[in-house]
Amino acid sequence: MSGWTIGAVNVNWSDQHEDGRQGRRPLHEGKARATSRRLFLKRTLAMGAAALVSRSASVLGDERFFGGSTRPTTNALPTISRVAHVVSERVLPVRIVQPVLLRDCLEHGLCAAMGERDIRDAWYRVLAPDDVILIKFNQSGAVRIGTTPAMVKELVGSLNRAGWGPDKMMLLEAGTEAGIIRKTRPVDHRWQGKEVAFRTVGKDSFLAAVEEATAIINVPFLKTHHRATMTCCLKNLSHGLIRHPARFHANGCDPAIGEIAGSQPIRGKARLNIVNALRVVFNGGPEAAEQDTHASGALLIGTDPVACDAVGYGLLNEIRSLHDLGPLVAGAQLPRQLVTAGKLGLGTIDSGQIDVQRITL
């Protein structure tokens, strides 16, 4: 993607461990060209980010992000915010998702984001064996975008093969039949009896399933949004798990997005973001009209929701430029909720602390 990165180091992914270890599931056959490079945001984005946030704390390696829950027992995560940007031109021909290619995109991307060569090791970077996992999709525009069923199948399948059974997963906003088909744990759609007070924007109740879960995997779409400029990782967590989301749309959803996503019920459990950018809504969102949807064949994967959103914002603007549209925010600035989330310590928008692993399949 022009303007995003400089420098390139080509990496060939291997299907086997070099030391010949057994008992691990190798990645699918086929090679991916991975480019490991430090993300330099487009000049305007970098200037805005530097002016607004000088040192945003990275979620990676931040014990507060795990909220005291049992942390995976593998090696320590890196201190830099790594985002895997996986692209395949063949994964979505004529709007039909190719399952094997999507599986490769998902698993190569997760390995790159976690710095592992084996998918099982990558999953154990973010999950503990006894975790009860709430997988949060996005139902807004899902029918028209049309990629959720395939994503559900491959994500659940990958977790199954890595050792987490269906009884350890709850599928939220994945479609009415998804949990039945996959035989996953039922989602408790009741609301918690208690309310959580946010810093300045008020209080609200969270979905009961949030309390039941010990870990959250966030699977948002990448879309524009008429109030919040864009919707991706942060907004899928903030407005997708509370009882009265409409109460928190004032001022472009800022600082509500950061305050809710950073509250203890979410921040203590959110482990991984998998942005479903196979089809991106680049205009008129959050609705998904066909003329405003672009098949990019991409996934963005990382543990830092702010960094993933920053990369997603750049991707949105690049797609908009292909359709002769200007940037979502005029001037050298990021959407304000990303800046607020960085200041609140949810992640980083600092270009010097985001490393994008670019993978082309």
Token pair recorded at residue 70: 């049992």
Distance from C-alpha of 35 to C-alpha of 83, rounded to nearest angstrom: 12
The radius of gyration computed from the CA coordinates of the chain, to the nearest angstrom, equals: 19
Distance from C-alpha of 270 to C-alpha of 255, rounded to nearest angstrom: 19
Eight-class DSSP state of 328:
S
Q: Is this structure's pTM higher than 0.85?
A: no
Measured on CA atoms in the order 300, 264, 214, 149, is the torsion positive or negative? negative
Distance from C-alpha of 29 to C-alpha of 293, rounded to nearest angstrom: 31
* Residue 216 exposed, middle or buried by CB count within 10 Å (0-12, 13-18, 19+): buried
Regions of the chain with pLDDT less than 70: 1-79, 332
pLDDT for 332: 65
Interval 204-222: pLDDT, tens:
999 999 999 999 999 999 9
